[in-house]
Amino acid sequence: MATATQIATRALRRLNVYSSGENPPAVDVADAKEALTAMIASWEAEGLTGDILPLDARFEQGVVAMLAVRLAEEYGKQPGEVLVRDAKSGWDQISAAFFAVPKSTFDDGIVNTGHWYQYGIIVGQEGDSLYTPWEASTAYRLREHVQNGSMIYECITAGTSASSGGPTGTGPEITDGTVTWCWRRVAGSPDAE
């Protein structure tokens, strides 16, 4: 688990303010730690609360990238495409892990008039939803839904599924290869438990 000092140092290196073998001066690390504290505090406005440091190892890369992007202007740097992508991916991972997705509701007057496919859901003529079945050794995107047996799962960490089995149980973090699933509900039931 990374400390604030480690995250700040890695962000300054990732932004190419300092080379990988170079130790940034204490004043720059202190400024970067202050920016990290402000960034984490701003997450409260987004709905994330609680003390997140020391940081869970699975979020370190993303937080380092987000901090580097945040510091770029202060150091006169233009964040590269990969750094920006990593920062966005980091935010997506934190969002998936810590933010509850509000339950969607639909007006009963809305009627589906045809078949369509979106976000892993096939919607039929009468509005019935059939989630795509889980598949072995398959790349899954963040927020993608699958059905395995009688259960519906949502991908909360993108990756590739295991070679057999798939997600089971009703937990909030179910490992399947490099994918992490969150159990959402029993197939056919209207609400997530």
Selected residue with higher pLDDT from 44 and 91: 91
Residue-level pLDDT at 55: 64
User: What 3-state class would DSSP assign to 184?
Assistant: strand
Beta bridge partners of 133: 147
Residue-level pLDDT at 120: 47
* Digit-coded pLDDT (tens) for 125-171: 333 356 789 999 999 998 888 999 888 899 999 999 999 999 999 88
Cα dihedral 147, 148, 154, 158 in deg (nearest 10):
-120
Distance of CA 111 to the CA centre of its chain: 32
* φ and ψ of 53, to 5 deg: -100, 140
**Percent of the chain residues past pLDDT 70, beyond the cut:** 74
Residue-level pLDDT at 104: 56
Question: Where do the CATH 1.10.3230.20 domains begin and end in the chain?
Answer: 4-98
Residue 102, preceding bond cis, omega within 30 degrees?
no
Q: Is the pLDDT of residue 47 over 70?
A: no
In angstroms, the Cα distances linking 41 to 10, 37, 83, 114, 144 are: 20, 6, 22, 45, 29
Selected residue with higher pLDDT from 3 and 106: 3
* Digit-coded pLDDT (tens) for 161-176: 999 999 999 888 999 9
- State the Cα–Cα distance between residues 150 and 63, nearest whole angstrom: 36
Average pLDDT over residues 55-84: 89
Strand order across the 145-148 sheet = 145-148, 151-157, 179-186, 174-176
Residue-level pLDDT at 117: 46
* Digit-coded pLDDT (tens) for 8-29: 999 999 998 888 888 899 999 9
Closest to 174 in 3D by CA, of 150, 192, 152? 152
Residue-level pLDDT at 101: 57
CATH superfamily of 4-98: P22 tail accessory factor (Gp4) (1.10.3230.20)
Q: Is the pLDDT of residue 121 over 70?
A: no
48: confidence class by pLDDT, cuts 50, 70, 90:
low
User: What 3-state class would DSSP assign to 134?
Assistant: coil
53: confidence class by pLDDT, cuts 50, 70, 90:
low
Q: Is the pLDDT of residue 91 over 90?
A: no
- State the Cα–Cα distance between residues 134 and 132, nearest whole angstrom: 7
